[in-house]
Amino acid sequence: MKKDEIRKKILESLNWRYATKIFDSERKISEDDMNVILESARLSPSSIGMEMWKFIVVNNKDTRVKLREAGYNQSQITDASHLIVITYRTDSVDNLTKERIERTAKVLKDGQGNLEGLKSMLENSITQKLADGTLDTWIKSQAYIPLGIMLETAAMLDIDTCPMEGFNSEKVDDILNLKEKNLKSITMLTLGYRGADKTIDYPKVRRDFDDVIEFI
Amino acid sequence: MKKDEIRKKILESLNWRYATKIFDSERKISEDDMNVILESARLSPSSIGMEMWKFIVVNNKDTRVKLREAGYNQSQITDASHLIVITYRTDSVDNLTKERIERTAKVLKDGQGNLEGLKSMLENSITQKLADGTLDTWIKSQAYIPLGIMLETAAMLDIDTCPMEGFNSEKVDDILNLKEKNLKSITMLTLGYRGADKTIDYPKVRRDFDDVIEFI
């Protein structure tokens, strides 16, 4: 692929993308495309590689009806082709460091890395964030990296999205039994194809380049 | 561009990407590529369209030396082709709603949207988050959406990156005079081309697909 084509495609995709209000409930995303979107989330980087998240793809129709009730009746939750509930881990202190070391040990070859050094770095990082009260914000924030990446991947594949924070997270956690899985919901991402949505033609609202980017 | 080529390019790019430890300090990102990366950040969505961020591109060499001191001497801060300090707005209660209404009013045509309804929705949202103590986390989290998007855009353009949270943010804010601009630093993104980095060949460490994605 030529570099100028990629540059053009990225900008076209991000300009085309908008928060879809009405999805065409008849159109479904192909399995190939969904795999690329989910794989994009899996490959997302996270602070010190902790991957402190889990992505719940809700295909069950009854569950989606319940989630819509917990989401102030927003139609995207049932009408979009796919719904991904992005969750974050609540067992960070107990398990995240241990799991990170285990999966790193499994793939590194002899002479690569320093697992003892990594372990103490990770432990210190968690301990310090716990002590200064920033652990919770840190863990939640990371979940927005794969959100951004999935939004871009979807747009590149001509797939519409609407990221949603407006829902009762306690109700969503109950519906999906997240507590027993040491997870909490943070955002939802609905994906599919735009339907009869009058906001399609609204001009994009963004700050001007000079207002949001400064060169020093 | 064919769909299967795009799918392949996205996955190749995200697999190729890694947190670059050593940049080639001689290689510079072209202006065309930097424009696409920064435009990707500008076009990033944010919760209720608040765009509660600003991206500071630090080209001044002396400033980058000072930032490296505030960043535990990590070489990427001076050696990468480009450094973007991602900041978030501290004047959210005073200005974000007002600015959002102003820029929306400027682009919407007659009959599009309901500015009064939008205004009260935005005000209620900020008021509620302020009351329940979630405003700060909400604003900080949003900054990770453009971070994710810039990481993916850069990778698609064969540009290396290292996102960095390990720095003394108060020192960084001082060096960049952020306080007087109602901004605080939250992450840094270094961008360029990988140099003599022994970690290039380390296998990628990620959770397995089934461990991080669940279907319900």
Name the pLDDT band for B126 (thresholds 50, 70, 90). Answer: very high
Per-residue model confidence (pLDDT) at position A109:
85
Indicate whether B182 pLDDT > 90: yes
Instruction: Give the separation between CA B94 and CA B81, rounded to whole angstroms.
Output: 36
Domains of chain A: which residue ranges?
29-202
Say if CB A45 and CB A64 are below 8 A apart: no
Give the residue with greater pLDDT, A199 vs B69. B69
Per-residue model confidence (pLDDT) at position B109:
85
Surface of A (54-73) touching B: CB under 8 A: 54-60, 63
pLDDT digits (tens, 9 = 90+) for B128-178: 999 999 999 999 999 999 999 999 999 999 999 999 999 999 999 999 999
For the domain made up of B3-197, the CATH class stated in words is: alpha beta
β partners of residue A215: B57
Q: Can you give the pTM of this predicted structure?
A: 0.97
Per-residue model confidence (pLDDT) at position B180:
97
Surface of A (142-161) touching B: CB under 8 A: 142-149, 151-153, 156-158
pLDDT digits (tens, 9 = 90+) for A124-142: 999 999 999 999 999 999 9
CA A172 from centre of chain: 16
Say if CB A23 and CB A194 are below 8 A apart: yes
Residues in CB range of A155: below 8 A, 6 or more apart:
A13, A14, A16, A17, A161
Per-residue model confidence (pLDDT) at position A161:
98
Indicate whether B1 pLDDT > 90: no
From residue A179, give the alpha-carbon distance in Å to each of A17, A43, A71, A85. 33, 25, 18, 14
Task: Select from A85, A182, A95, A187 the least CA-distant residue to A140.
Answer: A187
Packed helices A144-156 and A135-142: angle between N→C axes, nearest 10 degrees: 10
Task: Tell me the CATH architecture of domain A29-202.
Answer: 3-Layer(aba) Sandwich (3.40)
User: End-to-end alpha-carbon separation of chain A, Å?
Assistant: 34
β partners of residue A211: none
Task: Select from A161, A138, A213 the least CA-distant residue to A23.
Answer: A161
Residues in chain B within 8 Å Cβ distance of A33: 3, 7
Instruction: Give the separation between CA A127 and CA A93, rounded to whole angstroms.
Output: 8
Per-residue model confidence (pLDDT) at position A75:
97
Could you give the ipTM of this predicted complex?
0.96
The Cα of A171 is separated from the nearest Cα of chain B by a number of Å equal to 16
Buried b (16+ CB within 10 A) or exposed e, A150-178: bbbbbbbbebbbbbbeebebeebbebbeb
For chain A of 216 residues, list the mean pLDDT of each consecutive stretch of 10.
94 97 97 98 96 98 98 97 97 91 90 88 93 94 98 98 96 98 97 94 93 97
